[in-house]
């Protein structure tokens, strides 16, 4: 991570900015958000009674999401510090400490995290599992529709197996609604706003960096 001096001070501290998300990662995040919202709208609005031609919109945004996730996976492993998102024993302990303090039980304060805190890592793991389930089942479901690239062939699986594939797709998609609500809630919380701004503009201030992160665990 690079640190670049700014012309205008964004906070009461030195005005230095710490880069948190590169432009490519921010583009990935917002494209993924658009694809996810289109997928959810085209999936759930017809169920709620809003009738429109949803299928083309749904499979195309699904394929876009699959491509974006594949790019993210390759980029995370080859060019980014994927270990920053890995869950360790410490993260479980820190999460328990945060819960205990939030519920008024006191105890030790959670230690400052690296780039991502324990809750963010667990959230990422849960969302990754759901997205992979929805994409894997969705890609199989593409076998049942005609597209410009292939002809439908619904005989790959038995009726019972298709039923299981549809159950996985439906349950994972509905669980993603819960996760998305939680994500938007945290993004809008005033105490988390500096992270939302970093996903828009790419940086946090030096003051935010030293207040919220352990410099030994995230060297900026």
Partner 1 sequence: MQFFRYSKSIYGGQEQLVGASWDLLPWFVAAGAAFIALHALAMALAKARARKTQRQDG
Q: Which stretch binds partner 1 (CB under 8 A): 63-71, 76-84, 99-107, 144-152?
A: 99-107
Q: Which of 5, 49, 104, 148 binds partner 1 (CB under 8 A)?
A: 104
Instruction: Report yes or no: 179 and 123 within 8 Å, Cβ to Cβ.
Output: yes
Instruction: Report yes or no: 65 and 36 within 8 Å, Cβ to Cβ.
Output: yes
- Alpha helix ranges (H) inside 142-216: 159-188, 193-201, 206-212
Name the residue nearer to partner 1 (CB basis): 175 or 220.
175
Residue 71 CA to chain centroid, in angstroms?
14
Q: Which stretch binds partner 1 (CB under 8 A): 30-38, 79-87, 178-186, 201-209?
A: 178-186
**Least gap, CB of 94 to partner 1 (angstroms):** 16
Q: Which of 23, 89, 160, 216 binds partner 1 (CB under 8 A)?
A: 160
The contacts of residue 165 (CB under 8 Å, 6+ apart) are 137, 140, 141, 157
Q: In terms of Cα–Cα distance, which of 13, 10, 135 is closest to 73?
A: 135
DSSP 3-state of 46: helix
Contact set for partner 1, span 20-59 (CB under 8 A): 44, 47
Name the residue nearer to partner 1 (CB basis): 28 or 44.
44
Tokens of 14: 């030195």
Q: Does 164 bind partner 1 (CB under 8 A)?
A: yes
Q: Does 169 bind partner 1 (CB under 8 A)?
A: yes
Q: Which of 88, 107, 154, 163 binds partner 1 (CB under 8 A)?
A: 163
Q: What is the DSSP letter of 150?
A: -
Residue 48 CA to chain centroid, in angstroms?
26
Please give the residue ranges that form the binding site for partner 1 (CB under 8 A): 44, 47, 101-104, 159-160, 162-164, 166-167, 169-171, 174-175, 177-182, 185, 189, 191
């Amino acid at each position: 991570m690079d640190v670049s001096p700014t012309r205008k001070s964004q906070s009461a501290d030195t005005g230095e900015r710490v880069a948190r998300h590169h432009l490519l990662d921010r583009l990935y995040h917002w494209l993924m958000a658009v694809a996810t919202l289109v997928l959810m709208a085209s999936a759930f609005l017809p169920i709620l009674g809003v009738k429109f031609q949803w299928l083309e919109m749904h499979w195309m945004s699904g394929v876009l999401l699959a491509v974006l996730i594949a790019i993210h996976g390759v980029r995370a492993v080859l060019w980014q510090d994927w270990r920053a998102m890995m869950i360790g024993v410490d993260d479980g302990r820190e999460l328990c400490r945060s819960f205990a303090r939030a519920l008024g039980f006191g105890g030790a304060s959670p230690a400052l995290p690296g780039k991502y805190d324990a809750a963010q890592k667990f959230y990422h793991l849960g969302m990754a599992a759901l997205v992979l389930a929805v994409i894997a089942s969705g890609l199989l479901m593409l076998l049942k529709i005609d597209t410009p690239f292939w002809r439908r062939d619904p005989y790959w699986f038995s009726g019972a197996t298709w039923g299981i594939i549809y159950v996985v797709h439906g349950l994972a998609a509905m669980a993603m609604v819960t996760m998305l609500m939680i994500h938007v809630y945290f993004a809008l919380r005033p105490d988390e706003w500096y992270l939302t701004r970093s996903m828009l503009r790419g940086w946090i201030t030096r003051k935010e960096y030293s207040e919220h992160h352990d410099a030994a665990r995230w060297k900026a």
